[in-house]
Amino acid sequence: MSRAVVLATGLAALASLAALGARPGAAEPPPSLSVRLAAPRGGMTSERVVAVSGAVEGFRGDRMTLVLNGIPLSVPVRDGRFEQPQVFSPGLNTIRAVVEQDGAVAEDVVAVYASVPAKDLRITMTWDTPGTDVDLWVTPPEDEKVFYGRREGKAGGTLDTDVTTGFGPETFTQARTTSGALRVQAHAYRIDRPTRIEVTVVRNEGTPDEERRVLRALLLRTGDVVDL
């Protein structure tokens, strides 16, 4: 075959490919992966429980990660949007929204100053299964159990968030702690598979005396209760 024929054949093939890519209705390349926090966008708030929301693009998954003050949480993504209530700590709060896909990572970060009463104790529970309901039970010394059925105790502790659709978080806070043992339990109200839980206990959050402890356990069936 002569060089002229080869050249003509190659040019024709390139023209065909160009025409194929330019035809109406051809699939566009996927958009780049991105995530943006829509609310809050920084500044100040006097609310303790704040709805954190935003949008993602180019993401095919159905869950992403929201990190509040170093505590990660898996949150659902529906139609490119996410929203999750979060319990803010007094002072500066850092929120990170993170999506990962095919080795790529996108994130957005904002900082919000919360003018809210200080809390000596914060307990946050998350778990790793969707469509499940795990309850956080906290019993302060010489007090009644605080849970979804009694969300405020006599000693001032409150269950600030109660999630029944999987992953959490359930958050307990108490303004002033008293001496004595605090009982922390996880109750499998409704699960259909083994469920791993993680509880982060923070004392004196946002102060030089802050202490953190992470506790983990496994729930096997509905009705199980584990002491943490």
DSSP string, 141-157: TTSPPBBTTB-B-TTS-
Label residue 198 exposed, middle or buried (CB < 10 Å: 0-12, 13-18, 19+): buried
State the average pLDDT over residues 114-139.
94
CATH number of 117-228: 2.60.120
Which token pair is 73?
A: 């949480």
Predicted confidence (pLDDT) at residue 17 exceeds the cutoff of 50? no
Comparing 148 with 208, the larger pLDDT belongs to: 148
Q: Which tokens belong to 61?
A: 């998954």
CATH 2.60.40.10 intervals, the chain: 28-116
Give the tens place of pLDDT for each residue, 99-124: 999 999 999 999 999 999 888 999 99
Distances in Å between the Cα of 93 and the Cα atoms of 40, 46, 172, 196, 214 are: 11, 12, 17, 27, 19
pLDDT at res. 21 = 44
Q: Measured between alpha carbons, how far is 96 from 125 in angstroms, rounded to an integer?
A: 18
Of the segments 13-17, 158-162, 184-188, 200-204, which one has the largest average pLDDT value? 184-188
Q: What is the pLDDT of residue 179?
A: 83
Closest to 155 (Cα-Cα) out of 179, 191, 135, 171: 179
For the chain, residues classed under CATH 2.60.120 are 117-228
Q: Which residue has the higher pLDDT, 7 or 34?
A: 34
Cα-Cα-Cα-Cα torsion 19, 20, 24, 28, nearest 10 degrees, comes to -120
β-bridge mates for residue 135, sequence order: 187
Give kind and range of the element (H or E) at residue 6: helix 3-22
* Mean predicted confidence (pLDDT) in 37-63: 95
Q: What is the pLDDT of residue 18?
A: 40
The architecture (CATH level 2) of 28-116 comes to: Sandwich (2.60)
Distance CA 39, CA 50 (A): 9
Which amino acid, residue 34? Answer: S
| Beta strand residue intervals within 69-210, DSSP E | 71-76, 81-87, 91-101, 104-114, 121-127, 133-139, 158-161, 170-174, 183-190, 195-203
